[in-house]
Structure 1
């Protein structure tokens, strides 16, 4: 025969048995009997008669089982009522704190000039490439000054080839 708690503050607790068999406790906390066996090996307290005190078992689970692991949710939640809400709130607070820390880390990296905005990088590269283009397009006139024996046709061939190379680079996807 099972004993019941005599807690008059919560009628649901007064109907709860004091201790349960391992399989009944597994159903109560919504995990498999095998998982209860694993928990017993990890230290879940078991009474001399092989039953599990419900209050002590719930307390042990809340203190020793990582409820954020996906494996702990495989057979359903092991938390109870308000405990589940507190854990959910705690997890949300932890997630928010991590996001805030990540945002602060990015902001500090920007201030230390370890990160730059993509638009700034694009603008700088555009300026560099404009200088390269201008330098390449100036080659035929510089060659004409350095090598005056070249005909205008020779210089035009250089100019056309350089322009074609720049156009190919611009169209390369």
Structure 2
């Protein structure tokens, strides 16, 4: 019978001890569990690794049902199945509670981040992206215009030293450099 119960509980359960001599197995009415019998509250507690008080509490909660003439014993198979079902349901309930907690934490973090952004905006630490892009575009337009003016300014100041072809080479190189910068974007 111990081996049968160990199979029901699975390989991760604590090793089972033989039933106490006071536990008198009685043949249950259900033929499927006829080989298993009934046990006392203390034996069921030992079998499941619980206290007798916890067995009584679970019985009051409707997990275990007493059987017998004077309701003094528990059917082993039915009790083990009921306890396994109870534990599975507990794990499912705990899983949904964990998901709910995780969602609340995520929402709290999002709210805190939103508040931090609003505070940074009010302190002037953040600027709109469109304004930054417009400022950079203006600056780069001015830089481009200044660079493109270099060959003609150099040609005018150095007219005696530079030929028109030299000014054209400088102009071509500056334009090429600007095109390469534009292509890298």
TM-score by length of 2: 0.49
2:178 is aligned with 1:166:
yes
Cross-structure match for 2:13: none
Displacement of 1:27 in angstroms is 7.3
Q: Say if 1:84 and 1:157 are closer, same or farther in 2 by CA, change over 3 A.
A: closer
Measure the CA separation in 2 of the matches of 1:140 and 1:122.
29
2:180 is aligned with 1:128:
no
Deviations 1:8-55 (A, max 9, x none): xxxxx13448xxxxxx9787434xxxxxxxxxxxxxxxxxxxxxxxxx
Cross-structure match for 2:91: 78
Cross-structure match for 1:144: 155
Measure the CA separation in 1 of the matches of 2:62 and 2:99.
26
Q: How many residue pairs align between the two structures?
A: 120
Cross-structure match for 2:87: 29
Q: Say if 1:155 and 1:96 are closer, same or farther in 2 by CA, change over 3 A.
A: same
Measure the CA separation in 2 of the matches of 1:77 and 1:116.
50
- Structural mapping, 1:1-173, within 5 Å: 1-2=40-41, 3-5=55-57, 7=60, 13-16=61-64, 28-30=86-88, 78=91, 80=93, 88-149=99-160, 150-173=162-185
Which structure has the bigger radius of gyration? 2
TM-score by length of 1: 0.52
* Preserved CA contact (<8 Å) 1:4 1:14: no
Aligned to 2:125, the other structure's residue is in SS state coil
Deviations 1:80-137 (A, max 9, x none): 4xx7766654443333222111111122223323333333332222112111100101
* Preserved CA contact (<8 Å) 1:4 1:15: no
Measure the CA separation in 1 of the matches of 2:108 and 2:63.
40
* Preserved CA contact (<8 Å) 1:137 1:159: yes
